[in-house]
Structure 1
């Protein structure tokens, strides 16, 4: 039995799901803790140092105003994987113990770059764009290894560009999402929005308590 191309299933969902605007928010969010660093240190064991180096690079790229592209992600992946060259995959990729297959086609890398560029566009709100970007990286599966880590870095990069550092990221990294599920896509967007809101609330509460 041939496994269908779940990348195409994702792209159909991506174009049809009713992405919502994020609640309005102004100013930077100062978290009570650096959620990405905390999660990497407590979760990633021997590979934590490489992922922390990639996170630092992603944040530096966000601060410099870099636009997302495969080349930018590849720079992060060189840290993540500890290798000198990270090309775009040339063969079908599999995930979820083989239950999902992401195919290859002519122009796939250019299609991926166009999706990455849309993360910077107005339209859907920031939380929705961050969730969509995360899923783009997961389901395009551009690298032979480390795609979930790269998706996490891409989401962190986009939020950093808006002055946001989440204080908790574990739910983002623990829960698998299905490529053809609009419900999963919308649930991830809602989760990102909740994490942003909760980070802002807890950060503000901490700042108020230190002044009292």
Structure 2
């Protein structure tokens, strides 16, 4: 049997120096570019209009949840994923999952979903720079692989949600659309750096700030 890539990721996750990631400077200007919505409404819509509509609906729901200060949990992700996939009564996977043409296997143990919930809680840890927390949440969703389908789409929603919860909206998300691997600590930190770079670019152009709660 192939290696359990989820177990690999859980080890690698502890090796990454997440605190070494750069922070995003405090934004000061109102948003003029909505990167996630532009991605769904542009490249995604060009390929599949129905998928784009579902993703925009899930994005709107996730932003409403962020405005209410909802913590990131598997249940919250499940609400978004039902919109992403257009299904009701979605359940977390009940067996091993596979990706990348079957080359990666994500195992399942009695403690998998408890571990997943714990990882998601860490997305609110103020001791870790915001871009690192957002990138880590993205990779957690990708490699815990909670659903049989649509996990990459859900991972991007998780990343944008962590940022949105602290008033940050990226001006573009296209550069984030690349293959990630669970055994790559340098790549994990690179993703955090990329999120920071995009955030800083947005701050310089006045494309970063979103209204805070209240």
Same fold (TM over 0.5): yes
Count of aligned positions: 202
* 1:96-140 alpha-carbon deviations (Å, 9 max, x no partner): 111111000012111100000010112220001110000000000
1:24-49 alpha-carbon deviations (Å, 9 max, x no partner): 62245533311101100112222100
Separation in 2 of the partners of 1:69 and 1:161? Answer: 14
Distance 2:154 2:71 in 1: 15
Corresponding residue number in structure 2 for 1:33: 33
Verify the 8 A CA contact 1:90 1:104 in the aligned structure 2: yes
Q: 1:148 to 1:24 in 2, by over 3 A?
A: closer
Partner of 1:61: 65
Structure-1 residue corresponding to 2:2: 3
Q: Does the 8 A contact of 1:95 with 1:101 survive in 2?
A: yes
Which residue of structure 2 lines up, in the alignment, with residue 81 of structure 1?
A: 85
Q: Corresponding residue for 1:207?
A: none
TM-score computed with the length of structure 1 as normaliser: 0.91
Kindly state the Cα deviation for residue 165 of structure 1 after the two structures are TM-superposed: 1.0
**Root-mean-square deviation (CA), in Å?**
1.3
Distance 1:159 1:166 in 2: 8
Taking the aligned partners of 2:93 and 2:43, their CA distance within structure 1 comes to 27
**2: CA distance, partners of 1:24 / 1:180:** 26
Where does 1:91-130 land on structure 2 (aligned, <5 Å)? Answer: 91-130=95-134
Alignment of 1:62-211 (within 5 A): 62-172=66-176, 174-203=177-206
Distance 1:10 1:28 in 2: 36
Contact preservation (8 Å) 1:30, 1:165: no
Displacement of 1:22 in angstroms is 3.3
* Whole-angstrom distance in 1 between the partners of 2:21 and 2:186: 17
Contact 2:22/2:196 (8 A) holds in 1: yes
For the Cα contact (< 8 Å) 2:24–2:199, is it kept in 1?
no
Match of 1:18 in 2: 17
